[in-house]
Homo-oligomer: A and B are copies of this chain.
Amino acid sequence: MLSESSVRLGTARSVIRELFEYGKTRAAEVGAENVFDFSLGNPSVEPPAEVTETALRLLRESDPVAIHGYTSAQGDAAVREKLAASLNRRFAANCGPDDLYVCTGAAGALCGTLHGLACPGDEFVVFAPFFPEYRVFIEKTGAAVRVVPPQPADFQIDFDALASVLSPRTKGVLVNSPNNPSGAVYSRETLTRLAALLSERAAAYGHPIYLISDEPYREVVYDGFAAPWIPSLYRDTVVCYSFSKSLSLPGERLGYVFVPKGCGGGEPVLAAVAGASRAMGYVSAPSLFQRVCAECCDLTADLSVYAANRRLLLDGLRACGFTCVEPGGTFYLFPQTLEPDDRAFCEAAKRLDLLLVPGSGFGCPGHARLSYCVPTARVERALPVFEKLARLYR
């Protein structure tokens, strides 16, 4: 009598959330310093000081009726001007304020985009490993999900596998680089090849294939890596962004959709995003933080703690025998598990109070995700526990 899929989604317990709750319970029993929780991807560094200063200034100095009032449905015009200018400065994006739809987090951006694009019978392609909500978001539109299996050697794209999954039904391909959970950053070579394949197929099928780029980790990239600006490589790109990671503001749910000029070859893509967002009740994203993010959009939080944790963990895990692709970005590490059954492996880790997320949930069995947005002291104390875990498998 209720929407069955909704009840199922609302009742299913998230593995990550359950681990997190377990960690809290366990910390009460054995002490917080003896529980090594690497489960949650909640940024652990403070927002830039300018974020707090800007919020305080706006609250103190602006007309409260204006600052807390509805903005236009697609976001305050001055906010969109600032966001566009930043994209143009940093990526030569040729972005105008009317090419942006400001929205409630990357989830809102993705849902607005997917619902705006999807027609009956459509398919969207995702690459394993992938954020599990992608499946939920895509299926809600009525479209089907096609999964490209992982390429565990480097977590770039397995192009043979992709080629066999594309079809005239393909409406879009969803990429997430830097990637949650693998940390991989698609190289320029990967993206160029992807663009060529999609262009070729789009021409063959006689309709655009949209490349939906979910990039909340765009600025979380480490020395020696670079995340190319995808719209410069492929015309039919839609960028879904969130300030959650770059400004350490996940709870404020501020993001945007950017539809580059010419995207879709003249199709009214931004109008479709706006209409779909409207039909789901997403208009006029939270007003104060629209302004705050616009003022601070060229900044990032101090991400050096993530860099330090990444180095420690990568070296430490490799030293005790783990195989792990070096992550180019994000705050995740995605090592192979020491037994094929990643759930069993994570249970073994849990018995040592080491909380890791099985890769199966991301469509990539035989791996586990570690979120290292944690205090460095926790990483240091955890290294001997990883060694203990590895010894169980020698």
A residues contacting B by CB (< 8 A) are: 1-12, 17, 42-47, 51-52, 55-56, 59-60, 64-65, 67-73, 104-105, 107-108, 110-111, 115-119, 133, 136-137, 139-140, 207-208, 248-253, 264, 267-289
Contacts and interface: CB of A to CB of B under 8 A. Distances in A.
A274 B12 CA distance: 10
A248 B65 contact: yes
Contacts of A107: 281-283
Most chain-B CB neighbours within 10 Å: which of A56, A65, A287?
A65
B10 A275 contact: yes
A144 to B, nearest CB: 15
Contact of A272 (B2, B59, B279): B2
A264 B36 CA distance: 42
A47 B62 CA distance: 13
Given A1-B119, A269-B2, A70 B278 contact: no
B46 A65 contact: yes
B10 A104 contact: no
A273 to B, nearest CB: 7
Q: Is the interface of A mostly helix, strand, loop or mixed?
A: helix
Nearest to A67: B251
B47 A68 contact: yes
Contacts of A270: 10
A3 B4 CA distance: 24
Most chain-B CB neighbours within 10 Å: which of A7, A8, A59, A274?
A7
Given A45-B65, A252-B286, A287-B251, A279 B1 contact: no
A82 B68 CA distance: 22
B9 A276 contact: yes
B286 A6 contact: no
A3 B55 contact: no
A42 B59 contact: no
Nearest to A208: B1
Most chain-B CB neighbours within 10 Å: which of A104, A108, A279?
A279
A128 to B, nearest CB: 21
B11 A268 contact: yes
Contacts of A67: 251
Contacts of A4: 119
A208 B279 CA distance: 26
Contacts of A108: 281-282
A280 B1 contact: no
Contacts of A283: 107
A275 B70 contact: no
Given A137-B279, A253-B284, A272 B3 contact: yes
Nearest to A110: B281
A111 B71 CA distance: 20
Nearest to A277: B10
A9 to B, nearest CB: 3
B69 A59 contact: no
Contacts of A55: 55, 59, 288
11 contacts: A2-B264, A7-B116, A8-B275, A10-B271, A10-B272, A10-B278, A52-B59, A55-B59, A68-B250, A251-B284, A253-B287
Most chain-B CB neighbours within 10 Å: which of A42, A119, A252, A270?
A252
A9 B70 contact: no
A153 B320 CA distance: 80
A116 B52 contact: no
B285 A252 contact: no
A270 B70 CA distance: 28
Contacts of A52: 59, 64
A63 to B, nearest CB: 8
